[in-house]
Amino acid sequence: MFDVGNDTFLYYIVTCLIAAGTPGPGTLAVLNSALFFGVRRTLPLMLGIVFGMGVVAVATVTGLSALVLHSTLAFAVIKYVGGLYIGYLGVRILWPLFNSKQEEVKSQRPEKKMTFVTGVVLSIFNPKTLVFFTALLPAFIHQESSVVSQTATLTLILLLCTFLVHLTYSKLCGYVSDFFVRHMKWADAITGTMFVCFSIAVLLLS
């Protein structure tokens, strides 16, 4: 197992940070929630994302992820459930913009709060997360050492990096939240459209 001073260890951390910071459904959900609800009310969503990633990590260790990736039916189920759910989130954000005035959109904001369950679903039913775990973890595991302990350590590092990046994003959102609240319709339009685009991308994933 690599130690703190090992280049492989540092490379892995950098990889985790980049992966966590790269825009995706989970990151977008965190940004949207933090802008309008603040860090504290976004924590359940962030914890849900981390929990869901943990579930995918366990599936990777047990070989379940490999089975899913090699099963056309199983992969299709995850792809369509995840894609449609992401699309649902996008439509849920966009729908009031076509049916309400700005004041009414503001009054509906509490109904849009994303929860722990939202984070779990975004992680588990995102096929890109499954592919990422399956490709990333084995590349950093040394067969001469305990595979279980290495996998547990690597997974914890990845989950911690993801949580810290999302927490940082949430904190930064606090500095610009007033601006976005004043321009809520534009923020919702951008966020909802990006969710729909992510949904289409997931559904077209082969």
Alpha helix segments (H runs only) across 62-126? 64-70, 72-99, 102-108, 116-124
- Say which DSSP state 125 is in: T
pTM of the model: 0.78
**123, 53 Cβ separation under 8 angstroms:** yes
Tokens of 1: 């197992």
Calpha distance 184→201 (Å, rounded) = 25
The pLDDT of residue 178: 66
The pLDDT of residue 52: 92
Q: pLDDT means per 10 residues in the chain (206 residues)?
A: 63 85 86 86 93 87 74 84 88 76 48 81 84 76 74 87 92 74 71 86 77
C-alpha 4 chain-centroid distance = 27
The pLDDT of residue 59: 83
Token pair 């595991």: residue: 141
